[in-house]
A and B are shown apart, each in its own frame.
Chain A
């Protein structure tokens, strides 16, 4: 099956610094990638939709200037948490939509990145 990687798997940073998380589709091209945030034992909350070569579409309530998303190629999307604060500590998951036609729509998920802001 299709593989999506995320790097780093976990990161600890100081308050006020910025952190970049990478999401890569390893064996397929992804025109669309999604970024989610998940709190312990809770559901996935969609933060934004990242389309290759265009600006990301953010969900209501998500700060665009705080969570910068770049989708520079068909295999890479990045999420940068700027001026991180302890309340940004969470588990961040990306997923990638395979570039297919027809009806077999599937999202492939990365393994997630645990962010801890001190």
Chain B
């Protein structure tokens, strides 16, 4: 019954590897997002997708690429992982347009060795 689900919950890998994080929402929402929460707990937007179209692309490295096969899924692929990529990554979704609140997944804790 989880509304926004992410996998994996934990991801430990070595520098230089490529990894993906998956996100699915069963709320019928139109827009999905990826956020990064750093070690100081600051939550910052990375990407959003609406109807499979990228709406915004914040100044994140192009090693990060969001991929949305359909409205219910937004995956995050990361190439050539670096130590600074260690963080918690949250997926979120929002209904409709305008000012609706966002609902967050449980997060993926990424640790780079």
A in complex with B: no
Chain B interface residues (CB < 8 Å from chain A): none
